[in-house]
Amino acid sequence: MKARVSTEWLSGCSGCHVAIVDLHEKLLNLVDDVEFVRVPVLMDEKGYPKADVGIVEGAVRSEHDRHALEKMRESCGKLLAFGTCAAYGGPSGIGWLYGRDAILAKAYGGNVSDAKGSRVPGGASKLEESVIPIDEVVKIDRYLPGCPPHPYFIAIAIRDLLGVESIPLSPMTVCSECGRRMKKTEGAKLSKGEVSANDPETCFLSQGVVCLGSVTLDRCKAQCPNKGVACAGCAGPSVDLIREPHLDIRSMVAKRMAMLTGIPEQEIRDYIQGEAKTFYSYALSSPVMYGKPTVELREWAAEAAK
């Protein structure tokens, strides 16, 4: 009997659902094993049919998201937090820095937006006070961060949840799949706002460009640094970063770059702290990041906004 799979799309960009469709022939292989009973980008199913596996994209941002997530938990045997938004809040988690009222004021300019005097278009679901990773609302059985996750890892995760085969997912960072080499350099300056560098074979950090590969879980096979762009950390924090309360992006990257280049560690720390909205963006609203004793993201963002 085929396993039944249901998917739902909360506050996210839909990119994770497109990634499922992008599985191409791997999706066809899966179809032999599964029956998709609910997939918002592929079929018009508004209910929540019973399923063996539920795949949830996006974070909880609205009352609708919370309701849909609870329905998924009720109707699915196992639930997969699919993508960085589901696991850590993702890019929309940047709203955690400001709160609901400030965001509504910014988006709607404080003006009413319908004839009844509402500030939110009539019928729209009310916003939660902040962006909430989904495991703060319901129990999650597996996590697959990535923005979106690479097809190789999607196929592994789904086959594991279906009980078809279990392949351990690597706990390594993006550096483990990167073809660039870290080496000591002289004369490099801190490149602020840069995501590329001249030497295609040398680590970005050795060239003074902030790359988050060493603090990011590899769920992409180092796609960006291998194609000339520094890692932005979209797959979320590395295992070290999650486990150790005193480690954070700022301290780990600054120490490594300072060791390689001789650029003062404090200069790099100050830069990363000042651009915290960018460098912490994918996990800002998760306690994995804001709960660290060495991290004060809201204060850093407020300071940077002055």
**Environment class of residue 57 by beta-carbon count within 10 Å: exposed (0-12), middle (13-18) or buried (19+)?**
buried
Residue type, 150: H
- Considering the rule CB under 6 A, would residue 178 count as an interface residue with ligand SF4? yes
- Rounded to a whole number of angstroms, the minimum distance from the CB of residue 275 to ligand SF4 is 15
Shortest distance in whole angstroms from residue 20 CB to ligand SF4: 11
Count of residues near ligand SF4 by CB under 6 A: 35
**Among residues 134, 156, 211, 268, which is the contact residue for ligand SF4, using CB under 6 A?**
211
Closest CA to 3 of 163, 238, 130: 163
Identity of the residue, 16 or 284, whose beta carbon is nearer to ligand SF4 in the bound complex: 16
Going 2 to 11 to 173 to 150, the CA torsion angle's sign is positive
Let me know if 51 is exposed, middle or buried by CB neighbors in 10 A (0-12, 13-18, 19+).
buried
Site for ligand SF4 in 132-161 (CB under 6 A): 147-148
| Residue of 69, 80, 220, 268 interacting with ligand SF4 (CB under 6 A) | 220
- Contact residue for ligand SF4 among 4, 12, 30, 79 (CB under 6 A): 12
Helix axes 249-261, 265-274, angle to 10 degrees: 140
Interaction of residue 20 with ligand SF4, rule CB under 6 A: no
What is the layout of strands, in order, in the sheet containing 34-38?
A: 34-38, 3-9, 51-57, 76-82, 142-144
251 touches ligand SF4 (CB under 6 A): no
Q: Which residues make up the interface to ligand SF4 (CB under 6 A)? A: 12-13, 15-16, 57-58, 83-85, 90-91, 147-148, 174-175, 178, 180, 182, 203-205, 211, 213-214, 216, 220, 222-225, 231-235
